[in-house]
Amino acid sequence: MRKMTMSMYPVLMAAATLYGMQAFAVDFVEAAPKQTKVLVDNDKVRVIRASFKKGDKVPMHSHPEIVVYILKSGKTRFTNADGKVIESNAKEGESFFRPAVSHSHEHLEDSEALVIELKK
């Protein structure tokens, strides 16, 4: 067995950090199984219809890069993995690109969206 030296400490800390980040790698559909339905899933994209009621809370989960199309307007409070809170008031017909993210969310109103996850 190899003896641990101080020079190994940065490597161990990096591994621990990476392992900790994996705790947020819960899939969106797994985090919100009652509110989501996968419509398309192939090697290029996954298209998810997400329907939320006022008061719904989705625990911490991760997305790859996504495109979101709003089907029904609604307010949502997002909390990113770093603790930053963002309130969104998306309007029906809007669409936008979002970079990969880990977050939780609480729905302040009923809302519905298509979430298109981009695969590489």
Q: What is the pLDDT of residues 50-67, one digit of tens each?
A: 999 999 999 999 999 999
Query: Strand 111-118 to strand 45-52: parallel, antiparallel, or no bridges (unpaired)?
Result: antiparallel
Q: By mean pLDDT, which of 3-7, 77-81, 97-101, 115-119 is the weakest?
A: 3-7
pLDDT more than 90, % of the chain:
78
79 touches 108 (CB < 8 A): no
**How many domains, the chain?**
1
Range of the domain at 64: 25-118
**How does residue 69 score in pLDDT terms, banded at 50, 70 and 90?**
very high
Residue-level pLDDT at 120: 79
Residue 11 placed within a domain: no
59 touches 102 (CB < 8 A): no
pTM exceeding the 0.85 threshold for the entire prediction:
no
Assign residue 41 the CATH number of its domain: 2.60.120.10
